[in-house]
Amino acid sequence: MLLPNALLLPLCAAHSTLFAAAAAVGEDPASQFIRLLTVFLLAMWVGFEVITKVPQRLHTPLTSGSNAISGITVVGALVVAGALSSGFGTLLGLLAVVLAMINVVGGFVVTHRMLEMFSPKKK
């Protein structure tokens, strides 16, 4: 809206790399929070900008495709489970890996099936 998308994407990207590097060095908790909050707000903005342009007929694949992407929490699950820090924590983590993978694989496959039907060359 105010900022063109072309500007916004690299900005968002720059934030996540620059600040992710800072995280490794060690930063105070408040600035860590603000760093992630920046990423969060910018990504929300990108999301709003991009998704308002999706036509109605693609809303179902969009829902299921974004649903698959929300399975990104599998990354957190892998790290928590893989750390083997505690028996109970690992168990929860592994369960999370299974559930998130169902979400990820199921989501992408379902979306693909739907989009296949939209493809005009299939006769």
Partner 1 sequence: MSTQAWINLAYLTASMLFIMAFKLMTGPRTAVRGNYLGAAGMAIAILAACFEKPVLHSLTANGVWPLVMLGIAGVIGGGIGAIMAIKYPMTGMPQMVALLNGFGGAASTLVAGAELWNMTGNVSSPDAVVAQQSVVQLAPWTQFAIATAFTGLIGAVTFWGSLVAFAKLEELPQFKKAWTDPIRHKINLALAITTVLLIWAVCAHPSWTILYWLLVVVGSALGCTLTLPIGGADMPVVICLLNSYSGLAAAAAGFVIDNSVLVIAGSLVGASGLILTAIMCKAMNRSLVGVLFGGLGTSTSTISDDSVYAGKIKSAGAEEIAMVLEGASRVVIVPGYGLAVAQAQHAVRELANALEKRGTTVEYAIHPVAGRMPGHMNVLLAEADIPYEKLREMDDINPTFPETDVAIVVGANDVVNPAARTDPKSPIAGMPILDVDKARTVVVVKRSLSPGFAGIPNPLFAADNTLMYFADGKKAILDLTAAIEKS
Phi, psi of 121 (to 5 degrees): -75, -20
Q: Is 29 in the site for partner 1 (CB under 8 A)?
A: yes
Q: Which of residues 46-85 bind partner 1 (CB under 8 A)?
A: 46-48, 50-85
Q: Is 3 in the site for partner 1 (CB under 8 A)?
A: no
Q: Is 1 in the site for partner 1 (CB under 8 A)?
A: no
Q: Is 11 in the site for partner 1 (CB under 8 A)?
A: no
Q: Is 99 in the site for partner 1 (CB under 8 A)?
A: yes
Phi-psi group of 27: left, alpha or beta (phi > 0 → left; psi -120 to 50 → alpha; rest → beta): beta
Contact by Cβ (8 Å): 103, 70: yes
- Cα gap 106→88, rounded to integer Å: 27
Q: Is 43 in the site for partner 1 (CB under 8 A)?
A: yes
